[in-house]
Structure 1
Amino acid sequence: MSRQRWAVVALAALALGTAAPPAGPATAAPSRDRVATTSADNRVPVTDTTTYPASATVLLTFPGGRCTGFMISARTVATAGHCVHSGGSSGTWRTNLVAYPGYTGTTAPFGACAATQLFAPQGWTGSANAPGGGDPTQNYGAVRLNCGVGTTTGWYNPGYTTRPVTGSCTTTHGYPADRPGQWTSNAVIRAETAGLLYAPHAFSSGQDGSPVFYTPDPDDWCPTPPQLVIPCPCPPPPFTAHTALGILVSGPGGTGPGLTNSVATRFTAQSVTNLMQWR
């Protein structure tokens, strides 16, 4: 199998303070995002965003939109591909992207960091992927920051498995545009393909780019999930990290399992290898 190509863009330096986003940050989502929730809204607010993993969950803002991301190293944030590039050879890279780890809804306890580089796979930025749509299995990317905030916040490890994960209990943290601050939910994976995961996590715009990871210490009714593979060598985080197995990219819509479930781009050996290179 040939190595997958990827694209990168360097961004101009952006002067920042360390405060929260300006009052009333843009609440619109990127154009390809669907605004929807499952029938049962299972999100609950995160009351302390200074502790892990909330501290490593990141609000990303850019002109005209916002997304969620999550630290995967001291300086790098993973997120949805459409949060860094609109998709396709005629698509564009986001500009003036700013990261706020652990944002509370009113304050940024870890300050603000500007993006210096954006990454996305060729399968997302290439000509086969039309703007506003395209292959959801390639809908992932990363943001390199001008600070090493991850040494304070901690980070997630991206991992993958080729074994079935349907029935596994998962958790996500993110920044929905329809409510202030960071929110979290738990849901069981209802269906899967080689490149996608389907779970009834409630979703609204702004949550795209959120990590999907195994629920820590799940209840007895949750089956033991397959172990995830983390390619090494890789630098250890400051403390024990959760392993993300995908990135939330859209709410329910369309047909099939996506009709009643939110959709996550599933990590594979190739996507995890790319993320390891980008971090």
Structure 2
Amino acid sequence: MTTTTLTLNNGVELPALGFGVFQTPADQTATAVAEAFRVGYRLVDTAAAYANERGVGDAFRASGLTRDDVFIQTKLWISDYGYDQALHSFEKSARKLGVDQIDLLLLHQPLTSRFELTLDAYRALEKLYADGRVRAIGVSNFMPEVLTELLEKTEVVPAVNQIEVHPYFQQRELQALHAEHDILTQAWSPIGGVTIYGAGQKSTLENETIGQIADAHGKSPAQVMLRWHLQQGRSAIPKSVKPARIAENFDVFDFELTGDELAAIDALDTGVRSGPEPTSITLENYGREIPEA
């Protein structure tokens, strides 16, 4: 049976299955995260750009869980890249979350048009890691060429690259690079929720292959896709504000997909990205002020 935890390249353990709050309204975040804690999630993924870090912190403080019980990860936005700016951005996030130490801190996007700012921001993460303010550092949405350049110009190998991965978009070249450098692949949109499909293309939740596998196990398509991630060694961070879905997405540790079933899901890859192209993320198009705590 697949383990419920994964070990990062610096020895830190994190829950394999986490709870995401992307696009969760600030006034609903604390309630959703509280429900996730009740169900059994112990990893929560947020970001400065989501404007709901405070709700995550509120839910944690109300949960009765200890700090060691919960793995909290967040991401710095491109508007706060640069060395000093990134150090200050950490302080903003830590205060909103109400914690002294963040478990995993990521750069949310590569700012390829101003990559020197990206490198300076990552060097700030290295400083925070060296000082014990964060337990692990990493990146998000870094493609092979950009990740390779980061590896060449910085000291600490990222523990995680959080990227779009679901049955229709698997990024195998990038995942192979992760494996080469012992970087954990963490899947956002793990069940294809952000995908906009072309004419005649059914969503992953309506895909016949996934549906047949789900029927064979008495599970939902979403549960099958999450199980696919976990059995292939990825971390996954599904999101929902609906209690039934929150519970359903966590109920994936009592069945196992066969090799043939895993291969059948692998064969669904279309190579089509649904999220924004990482090189399109610029300060001109996506810059936004991240408020103080």
Per chain length, whose mean CA-contact separation is higher, i.e. which structure has more relative contact order (CA < 8 Å, sep 6+)? 1
**Whose Rg is larger?**
2
Q: Report the TM-score when normalising by structure 2.
A: 0.25
Q: Report the TM-score when normalising by structure 1.
A: 0.26
Which structure has more helix as a fraction of its residues?
A: 2
